[in-house]
Protein backbone atom coordinates (compact mmCIF):
# COMPACT_ATOMS: atom_id res chain seq x y z
CA UNK A 1 0.00 0.00 0.00
CA UNK A 2 1.27 3.44 -0.89
CA UNK A 3 1.53 5.92 1.86
CA UNK A 4 -1.11 8.58 1.46
CA UNK A 5 1.18 11.25 2.83
CA UNK A 6 2.63 13.79 0.41
CA UNK A 7 6.39 13.29 0.28
CA UNK A 8 7.38 15.90 -2.26
CA UNK A 9 8.20 19.19 -0.63
CA UNK A 10 7.03 22.07 -2.83
CA UNK A 11 8.10 25.66 -2.38
CA UNK A 12 5.81 27.90 -0.38
CA UNK A 13 2.94 29.24 -2.46
CA UNK A 14 3.55 27.00 -5.46
CA UNK A 15 0.12 25.33 -5.20
CA UNK A 16 -1.96 28.47 -4.84
CA UNK A 17 -0.39 30.58 -7.58
CA UNK A 18 -2.05 30.99 -10.98
CA UNK A 19 0.98 30.23 -13.15
CA UNK A 20 2.95 27.06 -13.66
CA UNK A 21 6.71 26.80 -13.41
CA UNK A 22 8.24 24.80 -16.23
CA UNK A 23 11.85 23.79 -16.60
CA UNK A 24 12.77 23.96 -20.26
CA UNK A 25 16.11 22.25 -20.37
CA UNK A 26 18.97 21.87 -19.59
CA UNK A 27 18.63 18.51 -21.37
CA UNK A 28 15.51 19.08 -23.40
CA UNK A 29 15.73 17.72 -26.96
CA UNK A 30 14.20 20.88 -28.40
CA UNK A 31 16.79 23.25 -26.96
CA UNK A 32 19.61 21.78 -29.11
CA UNK A 33 22.22 22.19 -26.43
CA UNK A 34 22.59 22.55 -22.71
CA UNK A 35 20.45 25.56 -21.89
CA UNK A 36 18.07 25.86 -19.01
CA UNK A 37 15.12 28.21 -19.00
CA UNK A 38 12.84 28.38 -16.02
CA UNK A 39 9.58 29.49 -17.54
CA UNK A 40 6.62 30.83 -15.67
CA UNK A 41 3.67 29.90 -17.88
CA UNK A 42 0.01 30.77 -17.81
CA UNK A 43 -1.58 27.99 -19.86
CA UNK A 44 0.51 28.03 -23.03
CA UNK A 45 1.63 31.60 -22.66
CA UNK A 46 5.02 32.54 -21.19
CA UNK A 47 4.81 35.12 -18.42
CA UNK A 48 8.49 35.28 -17.64
CA UNK A 49 11.69 33.38 -18.32
CA UNK A 50 14.95 33.05 -16.44
CA UNK A 51 17.91 31.70 -18.40
CA UNK A 52 20.67 29.73 -16.74
CA UNK A 53 23.93 29.17 -18.58
CA UNK A 54 27.30 27.69 -17.76
CA UNK A 55 26.61 23.98 -17.97
CA UNK A 56 29.57 23.35 -20.24
CA UNK A 57 31.86 26.09 -19.03
CA UNK A 58 35.44 24.87 -19.50
CA UNK A 59 37.49 27.90 -18.38
CA UNK A 60 39.24 28.40 -21.72
CA UNK A 61 40.35 31.89 -20.80
CA UNK A 62 42.13 30.56 -17.73
CA UNK A 63 43.65 27.61 -19.58
CA UNK A 64 44.91 29.98 -22.27
CA UNK A 65 46.99 31.81 -19.67
CA UNK A 66 49.23 28.76 -19.31
CA UNK A 67 49.48 27.66 -22.92
CA UNK A 68 51.81 28.69 -25.70
CA UNK A 69 50.04 30.48 -28.52
CA UNK A 70 49.89 27.60 -30.96
CA UNK A 71 48.21 25.41 -28.36
CA UNK A 72 45.35 27.89 -27.97
CA UNK A 73 44.03 27.28 -31.49
CA UNK A 74 42.44 23.94 -30.46
CA UNK A 75 40.69 25.73 -27.59
CA UNK A 76 39.02 28.11 -30.02
CA UNK A 77 37.65 25.12 -31.98
CA UNK A 78 35.41 24.38 -29.08
CA UNK A 79 33.72 27.77 -28.94
CA UNK A 80 31.32 27.70 -31.86
CA UNK A 81 31.88 24.10 -32.89
CA UNK A 82 29.49 24.41 -35.85
CA UNK A 83 31.97 26.71 -37.57
CA UNK A 84 35.28 25.95 -35.87
CA UNK A 85 37.50 27.20 -38.75
CA UNK A 86 36.23 30.77 -38.32
CA UNK A 87 37.26 30.70 -34.67
CA UNK A 88 40.67 29.30 -35.58
CA UNK A 89 41.22 31.98 -38.20
CA UNK A 90 40.02 34.68 -35.84
CA UNK A 91 42.57 33.62 -33.25
CA UNK A 92 45.40 33.27 -35.77
CA UNK A 93 44.61 36.67 -37.26
CA UNK A 94 44.77 38.15 -33.76
CA UNK A 95 48.21 36.69 -33.14
CA UNK A 96 49.36 37.77 -36.59
CA UNK A 97 48.15 41.28 -35.84
CA UNK A 98 50.11 41.28 -32.59
CA UNK A 99 53.25 40.06 -34.33
CA UNK A 100 52.78 42.22 -37.41
CA UNK A 101 52.79 39.28 -39.80
CA UNK A 102 51.61 40.01 -43.34
CA UNK A 103 50.17 36.93 -44.96
CA UNK A 104 50.43 36.38 -48.73
CA UNK A 105 47.28 36.93 -50.81
CA UNK A 106 46.93 33.26 -51.57
CA UNK A 107 46.81 32.43 -47.86
CA UNK A 108 44.15 35.11 -47.36
CA UNK A 109 42.02 33.73 -50.17
CA UNK A 110 42.38 30.14 -49.00
CA UNK A 111 41.33 31.29 -45.55
CA UNK A 112 38.34 33.09 -47.03
CA UNK A 113 37.30 29.87 -48.78
CA UNK A 114 37.48 27.93 -45.52
CA UNK A 115 35.73 30.60 -43.50
CA UNK A 116 32.88 30.91 -45.97
CA UNK A 117 32.48 27.14 -46.13
CA UNK A 118 32.26 27.18 -42.35
CA UNK A 119 29.67 29.95 -42.47
CA UNK A 120 27.57 27.90 -44.88
CA UNK A 121 27.89 24.82 -42.65
CA UNK A 122 26.76 26.85 -39.66
CA UNK A 123 23.85 28.64 -41.32
CA UNK A 124 22.80 25.37 -42.91
CA UNK A 125 22.34 23.77 -39.50
CA UNK A 126 20.54 26.76 -38.06
CA UNK A 127 18.12 27.18 -40.95
CA UNK A 128 17.35 23.50 -41.27
CA UNK A 129 16.92 23.04 -37.52
CA UNK A 130 14.34 25.81 -37.63
CA UNK A 131 12.49 23.58 -40.06
CA UNK A 132 12.80 20.65 -37.64
CA UNK A 133 11.40 22.71 -34.79
CA UNK A 134 8.40 23.67 -36.85
CA UNK A 135 7.77 20.07 -37.88
CA UNK A 136 9.62 19.74 -41.18
CA UNK A 137 12.39 17.16 -40.86
CA UNK A 138 12.87 16.67 -44.59
CA UNK A 139 15.00 19.73 -45.29
CA UNK A 140 17.30 18.98 -42.38
CA UNK A 141 18.07 15.46 -43.53
CA UNK A 142 18.47 16.65 -47.10
CA UNK A 143 21.04 19.42 -46.52
CA UNK A 144 22.99 17.33 -44.02
CA UNK A 145 24.62 15.57 -47.00
CA UNK A 146 26.29 18.85 -47.91
CA UNK A 147 27.45 19.63 -44.42
CA UNK A 148 29.09 16.24 -44.67
CA UNK A 149 30.77 17.33 -47.89
CA UNK A 150 32.05 20.50 -46.17
CA UNK A 151 33.46 18.35 -43.37
CA UNK A 152 35.16 16.18 -45.97
CA UNK A 153 36.77 19.31 -47.37
CA UNK A 154 38.06 20.22 -43.89
CA UNK A 155 39.32 16.70 -43.53
CA UNK A 156 41.15 16.95 -46.83
CA UNK A 157 42.85 20.16 -45.65
CA UNK A 158 43.62 19.59 -41.99
CA UNK A 159 42.73 15.99 -41.21
CA UNK A 160 39.84 16.53 -38.87
CA UNK A 161 36.17 17.31 -39.20
CA UNK A 162 34.43 19.04 -36.33
CA UNK A 163 37.12 20.58 -34.16
CA UNK A 164 39.48 21.44 -36.93
CA UNK A 165 42.56 23.21 -35.52
CA UNK A 166 42.98 24.46 -39.08
CA UNK A 167 45.78 26.84 -39.98
CA UNK A 168 48.93 27.92 -38.20
CA UNK A 169 50.39 31.29 -37.30
CA UNK A 170 51.26 32.67 -40.75
CA UNK A 171 49.20 30.34 -42.91
CA UNK A 172 48.22 26.70 -43.23
CA UNK A 173 49.99 23.62 -41.99
CA UNK A 174 50.11 22.21 -45.53
CA UNK A 175 48.99 23.19 -48.99
CA UNK A 176 45.52 22.40 -50.31
CA UNK A 177 45.61 19.15 -52.24
CA UNK A 178 44.08 18.79 -55.72
CA UNK A 179 41.48 16.55 -54.05
CA UNK A 180 40.51 19.41 -51.74
CA UNK A 181 40.04 21.77 -54.68
CA UNK A 182 38.07 19.10 -56.52
CA UNK A 183 35.76 18.73 -53.54
CA UNK A 184 35.28 22.48 -53.24
CA UNK A 185 34.42 22.57 -56.95
CA UNK A 186 31.98 19.74 -56.45
CA UNK A 187 30.39 21.63 -53.58
CA UNK A 188 30.11 24.80 -55.67
CA UNK A 189 28.50 22.87 -58.50
CA UNK A 190 26.03 20.83 -56.51
CA UNK A 191 25.09 22.93 -53.53
CA UNK A 192 23.21 25.81 -55.26
CA UNK A 193 20.54 23.43 -56.54
CA UNK A 194 20.20 21.89 -53.08
CA UNK A 195 19.95 25.24 -51.35
CA UNK A 196 17.35 26.35 -53.86
CA UNK A 197 15.32 23.25 -53.24
CA UNK A 198 15.70 23.67 -49.50
CA UNK A 199 14.40 27.21 -49.78
CA UNK A 200 11.38 26.12 -51.79
CA UNK A 201 10.55 23.68 -49.01
CA UNK A 202 10.31 26.38 -46.36
CA UNK A 203 10.51 29.99 -47.51
CA UNK A 204 6.96 30.30 -48.86
CA UNK A 205 5.59 27.39 -46.89
CA UNK A 206 2.40 28.63 -45.20
CA UNK A 207 2.91 26.58 -42.02
CA UNK A 208 6.52 27.67 -41.68
CA UNK A 209 5.63 31.32 -42.24
CA UNK A 210 2.83 31.20 -39.67
CA UNK A 211 5.14 29.61 -37.16
CA UNK A 212 8.02 32.04 -37.60
CA UNK A 213 6.68 35.43 -38.67
CA UNK A 214 6.40 37.81 -35.75
CA UNK A 215 7.98 35.25 -33.43
CA UNK A 216 10.85 36.49 -31.31
CA UNK A 217 10.89 39.87 -33.01
CA UNK A 218 13.24 42.58 -31.85
CA UNK A 219 13.61 46.19 -32.96
CA UNK A 220 16.92 47.47 -34.28
CA UNK A 221 17.26 49.73 -31.26
CA UNK A 222 16.81 46.94 -28.72
CA UNK A 223 19.00 44.62 -30.76
CA UNK A 224 21.84 47.15 -30.63
CA UNK A 225 21.32 47.73 -26.95
CA UNK A 226 21.50 43.99 -26.36
CA UNK A 227 24.75 43.79 -28.28
CA UNK A 228 23.35 41.72 -31.16
CA UNK A 229 25.72 41.18 -34.06
CA UNK A 230 25.75 38.97 -37.12
CA UNK A 231 22.63 37.65 -38.84
CA UNK A 232 20.44 38.36 -35.81
CA UNK A 233 21.28 42.07 -35.91
CA UNK A 234 21.05 42.24 -39.69
CA UNK A 235 17.59 40.65 -39.55
CA UNK A 236 16.55 43.68 -37.50
CA UNK A 237 17.74 45.95 -40.31
CA UNK A 238 21.23 47.07 -39.24
CA UNK A 239 23.82 46.40 -41.93
CA UNK A 240 26.80 45.85 -39.63
CA UNK A 241 29.16 43.16 -40.83
CA UNK A 242 32.78 42.95 -39.66
CA UNK A 243 33.85 41.65 -43.07
CA UNK A 244 32.90 45.01 -44.55
CA UNK A 245 33.35 47.37 -41.60
CA UNK A 246 36.88 46.22 -40.74
CA UNK A 247 38.00 43.90 -43.52
CA UNK A 248 40.44 41.17 -42.54
CA UNK A 249 42.05 38.43 -44.58
CA UNK A 250 41.59 40.49 -47.80
CA UNK A 251 37.78 40.54 -47.70
CA UNK A 252 38.02 43.97 -49.37
CA UNK A 253 38.99 42.16 -52.60
CA UNK A 254 35.61 40.48 -52.85
CA UNK A 255 32.35 41.68 -54.24
CA UNK A 256 29.42 40.70 -52.06
CA UNK A 257 26.40 42.28 -50.47
CA UNK A 258 25.06 42.15 -46.94
CA UNK A 259 21.47 40.92 -46.72
CA UNK A 260 19.34 42.72 -44.15
CA UNK A 261 15.86 42.05 -42.85
CA UNK A 262 13.27 44.49 -41.57
CA UNK A 263 11.29 43.03 -38.68
CA UNK A 264 13.97 41.17 -36.72
CA UNK A 265 11.72 38.15 -36.22
CA UNK A 266 12.58 34.49 -36.65
CA UNK A 267 11.45 34.47 -40.27
CA UNK A 268 13.76 37.36 -41.14
CA UNK A 269 16.65 35.68 -39.38
CA UNK A 270 15.99 32.58 -41.48
CA UNK A 271 15.85 34.66 -44.65
CA UNK A 272 19.03 36.58 -43.82
CA UNK A 273 20.92 33.34 -43.18
CA UNK A 274 19.75 31.83 -46.45
CA UNK A 275 20.69 34.96 -48.37
CA UNK A 276 24.09 34.93 -46.68
CA UNK A 277 24.68 31.39 -47.87
CA UNK A 278 24.19 32.58 -51.46
CA UNK A 279 26.66 35.41 -50.82
CA UNK A 280 29.13 32.97 -49.30
CA UNK A 281 28.86 30.75 -52.36
CA UNK A 282 29.63 33.73 -54.54
CA UNK A 283 32.63 34.67 -52.35
CA UNK A 284 34.02 31.13 -52.52
CA UNK A 285 33.66 31.13 -56.29
CA UNK A 286 35.48 34.46 -56.57
CA UNK A 287 38.21 33.21 -54.22
CA UNK A 288 38.66 30.03 -56.26
CA UNK A 289 39.15 32.15 -59.38
CA UNK A 290 41.64 34.42 -57.64
CA UNK A 291 43.61 31.50 -56.20
CA UNK A 292 44.08 30.02 -59.69
CA UNK A 293 46.05 33.05 -60.84
CA UNK A 294 48.49 32.98 -57.90
CA UNK A 295 51.62 30.83 -57.45
CA UNK A 296 50.34 27.46 -56.32
CA UNK A 297 53.08 26.65 -53.81
CA UNK A 298 52.46 29.53 -51.39
CA UNK A 299 50.48 28.48 -48.34
CA UNK A 300 52.15 30.32 -45.49
CA UNK A 301 53.94 33.56 -44.75
CA UNK A 302 57.71 33.59 -44.56
CA UNK A 303 58.00 33.79 -40.77
CA UNK A 304 60.50 31.11 -39.72
CA UNK A 305 60.35 32.17 -36.06
CA UNK A 306 56.66 31.23 -35.81
CA UNK A 307 55.97 28.78 -38.62
CA UNK A 308 57.26 25.22 -38.29
CA UNK A 309 59.95 24.37 -40.85
CA UNK A 310 59.87 21.39 -43.19
CA UNK A 311 60.78 18.20 -41.41
CA UNK A 312 63.73 17.35 -43.66
CA UNK A 313 65.17 20.82 -42.97
CA UNK A 314 64.96 20.17 -39.24
CA UNK A 315 67.27 17.20 -39.70
CA UNK A 316 69.73 18.95 -41.96
CA UNK A 317 69.77 22.68 -41.16
CA UNK A 318 70.78 24.36 -37.93
CA UNK A 319 68.36 27.33 -38.08
CA UNK A 320 65.43 25.10 -38.89
CA UNK A 321 66.29 22.87 -35.94
CA UNK A 322 66.48 25.87 -33.58
CA UNK A 323 63.17 27.31 -34.78
CA UNK A 324 61.53 23.93 -34.65
CA UNK A 325 62.65 23.43 -31.08
CA UNK A 326 61.63 26.91 -29.97
CA UNK A 327 58.19 26.72 -31.57
CA UNK A 328 57.38 23.26 -30.26
CA UNK A 329 58.53 24.15 -26.75
CA UNK A 330 56.40 27.29 -26.91
CA UNK A 331 59.47 29.50 -26.66
CA UNK A 332 58.98 31.50 -29.87
CA UNK A 333 59.54 35.18 -29.04
CA UNK A 334 56.23 36.95 -28.62
CA UNK A 335 55.91 40.70 -28.63
CA UNK A 336 54.27 42.53 -25.76
CA UNK A 337 51.11 44.36 -26.73
CA UNK A 338 47.40 44.75 -26.37
CA UNK A 339 45.22 43.90 -29.30
CA UNK A 340 41.52 43.50 -30.03
CA UNK A 341 40.69 41.73 -33.24
CA UNK A 342 37.27 40.73 -34.45
CA UNK A 343 36.06 38.48 -37.24
CA UNK A 344 32.56 37.94 -38.52
CA UNK A 345 31.73 34.61 -36.96
CA UNK A 346 28.72 32.66 -38.15
CA UNK A 347 26.54 34.24 -35.50
CA UNK A 348 28.15 37.59 -34.96
CA UNK A 349 31.24 39.53 -34.09
CA UNK A 350 33.70 37.08 -32.61
CA UNK A 351 36.32 39.15 -30.83
CA UNK A 352 39.66 38.26 -29.29
CA UNK A 353 41.07 40.62 -26.71
CA UNK A 354 44.66 39.63 -26.17
CA UNK A 355 47.17 41.12 -23.75
CA UNK A 356 50.68 39.83 -24.18
CA UNK A 357 53.54 40.66 -21.83
CA UNK A 358 56.02 38.99 -24.13
CA UNK A 359 55.83 35.71 -22.24
CA UNK A 360 55.22 32.26 -23.65
CA UNK A 361 51.46 32.48 -23.08
CA UNK A 362 49.02 35.38 -23.16
CA UNK A 363 48.81 37.49 -20.02
CA UNK A 364 45.10 37.73 -20.62
CA UNK A 365 42.89 36.41 -23.38
CA UNK A 366 39.22 37.21 -23.55
CA UNK A 367 36.79 35.90 -26.12
CA UNK A 368 33.93 38.15 -27.13
CA UNK A 369 31.39 35.41 -27.77
CA UNK A 370 28.38 36.71 -29.70
CA UNK A 371 26.07 33.95 -28.38
CA UNK A 372 26.72 34.79 -24.76
CA UNK A 373 25.92 38.43 -25.36
CA UNK A 374 22.72 38.10 -27.33
CA UNK A 375 21.30 35.17 -25.38
CA UNK A 376 20.42 37.53 -22.52
CA UNK A 377 17.74 39.01 -24.77
CA UNK A 378 15.98 35.64 -24.91
CA UNK A 379 13.81 36.28 -21.84
CA UNK A 380 12.57 39.50 -23.37
CA UNK A 381 12.03 37.93 -26.79
CA UNK A 382 9.81 35.11 -25.57
CA UNK A 383 7.84 37.03 -22.96
CA UNK A 384 4.16 36.86 -23.83
CA UNK A 385 4.60 34.30 -26.58
CA UNK A 386 3.50 30.67 -26.71
CA UNK A 387 5.72 27.89 -25.44
CA UNK A 388 6.12 26.41 -28.92
CA UNK A 389 7.19 29.83 -30.21
CA UNK A 390 9.92 29.99 -27.60
CA UNK A 391 11.43 26.85 -29.13
CA UNK A 392 11.41 28.34 -32.62
CA UNK A 393 12.82 31.60 -31.30
CA UNK A 394 15.69 29.75 -29.64
CA UNK A 395 16.66 27.81 -32.76
CA UNK A 396 16.41 30.95 -34.91
CA UNK A 397 18.93 32.73 -32.66
CA UNK A 398 21.45 29.99 -33.45
CA UNK A 399 22.66 29.43 -29.92
CA UNK A 400 25.72 27.24 -29.64
CA UNK A 401 26.35 26.01 -26.12
CA UNK A 402 30.11 25.86 -26.59
CA UNK A 403 30.32 29.49 -27.52
CA UNK A 404 27.89 30.56 -24.84
CA UNK A 405 29.92 29.10 -22.02
CA UNK A 406 33.50 29.12 -23.32
Partner 1 sequence: MSLTNERIQQRLTEKFGDVLTGFEEPFGLLTLTAQKDYNLKVMQFLFDDEELRFRFLTDITAVHYPDRKNEELAVVYHLHNLQDNIRLRLKVFTPVAKPDVFTATQLYASANWMERETYDFYGINFVGHPNLIRVLNVDEMTYFPMRKEFPLEDSMRIDKDDEMFGRGGNL
What is the contact surface with partner 1 in residues (CB under 8 A)? 53-54, 57, 59, 61-63, 65-66, 97, 222, 224-227, 238, 240, 245-246, 329, 331, 337-340, 342, 349, 351, 353, 355, 359-360, 363-364, 366, 368, 372-377, 405-406
Residue closer to partner 1, measured from CB, 187 or 374: 374
- Tell me the Cα Rg of the chain: 23
CA distance linking residue 272 with residue 96, whole number of Å:
31
CA distance linking residue 35 with residue 378, whole number of Å:
11
CB of 338 to partner 1, least distance (A): 5
CB of 45 to partner 1, least distance (A): 23
CA distance linking residue 261 with residue 272, whole number of Å:
6
CB of 299 to partner 1, least distance (A): 26
CB of 10 to partner 1, least distance (A): 21
The three-state DSSP-derived secondary structure of 58-111 is CCHHHHHCCCCHHHCHHHHHCCCHHHHHHHHHHHHHHHHHHHCCCCCHHHHHHH
CB of 125 to partner 1, least distance (A): 24
Residue closer to partner 1, measured from CB, 147 or 366: 366
Residue closer to partner 1, measured from CB, 156 or 380: 380
Residue closer to partner 1, measured from CB, 149 or 350: 350
Residue closer to partner 1, measured from CB, 298 or 373: 373
CB of 47 to partner 1, least distance (A): 18
Return the closest-CA partner of residue 113 out of 161, 178, 176. 176
Residue closer to partner 1, measured from CB, 40 or 61: 61
Residue closer to partner 1, measured from CB, 53 or 394: 53
CB of 245 to partner 1, least distance (A): 5
Residue closer to partner 1, measured from CB, 64 or 281: 64
Which phi and psi angles does 20 have, rounded to 5°? -110, 140
- For 240-393, strand residue ranges (E) read 336-345, 348-357, 364-368
Both ends of the chain: CA-CA distance in Å?
50
Q: Do 91 and 76 contact (CB within 8 A), yes or no?
A: yes
Q: In 10 A of CB 86, how many CB atoms?
A: 29
The continuous run of DSSP H or E covering 47 comes out as strand 45-52
CB of 173 to partner 1, least distance (A): 25
CA distance linking residue 330 with residue 66, whole number of Å:
11
CB of 334 to partner 1, least distance (A): 12
CA distance linking residue 134 with residue 267, whole number of Å:
12
Q: Is the C-alpha dihedral spanning 87, 305, 287, 165 positive or negative?
A: negative
Residue closer to partner 1, measured from CB, 208 or 372: 372
CA distance linking residue 403 with residue 60, whole number of Å:
11
- By residue count, the chain amounts to 406
Amino acid sequence: MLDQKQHIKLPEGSIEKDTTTLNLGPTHPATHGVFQNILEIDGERIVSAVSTVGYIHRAFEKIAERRPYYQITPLTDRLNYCSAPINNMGWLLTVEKLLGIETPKRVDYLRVIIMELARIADHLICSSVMGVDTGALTGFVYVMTYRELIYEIYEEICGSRLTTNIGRIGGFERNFTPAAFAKIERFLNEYPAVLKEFETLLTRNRIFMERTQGVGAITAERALSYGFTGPNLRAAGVDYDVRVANPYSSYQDFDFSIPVGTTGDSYDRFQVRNAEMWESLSIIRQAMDKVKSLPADVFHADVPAYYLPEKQDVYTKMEALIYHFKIVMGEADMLPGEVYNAVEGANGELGFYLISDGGRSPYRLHFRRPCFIYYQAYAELVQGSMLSDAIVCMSSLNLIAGELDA
